[in-house]
Amino acid sequence: MLDSIIKYIVIATVAMSLGLLPAYIAFRNGRNMLLWWIYGTLLFPAAIVHALMLGRMSMGGCPYCRSIVDRNADYCKRCGYEFRSSE
C-alpha cells in the first residue's frame, strides 16, 4: 500500500519535472506557463513537440538579411538590423 503511494509520488514528481520543459519553452514564447505545465505533465510527448513548434513559428526572420532571429531580440545578430517593437 505504502509502496504504491510512494511509486505514484515518484511518477508524479518525474512527470511534473518533465512538464516544466515544454512549459518553459511555451512561457518564453508568451504562453501561460501554468497551463503548459499541466499540459506537459499530462501529455509530455505532445506538449514538447507542440512547444518546440511554437518556438519555431515565433522565430521571425530578419526583414533585412532573412536570417532567423529570436522574437525577443532587439536587433539582428547577423546584420545589426534594429527591430521596432511590434507589441
Stretch that binds Zn ion, among 7-15, 25-33, 45-53, 55-63 (CB under 5 A): 55-63
In the complex with Zn ion, which residue's Cβ is closer, 54 or 76?
A: 76
Residue 81 binds Zn ion (CB under 5 A): yes
In the complex with Zn ion, which residue's Cβ is closer, 30 or 80?
A: 80
Between the alpha carbon of residue 16 and those of residues 27, 37, 60, the distances in Å are: 16, 7, 30
The residue behind cell 499541466 is 38
Residue 47 binds Zn ion (CB under 5 A): no
The one-letter code for the residue type at 18 is L
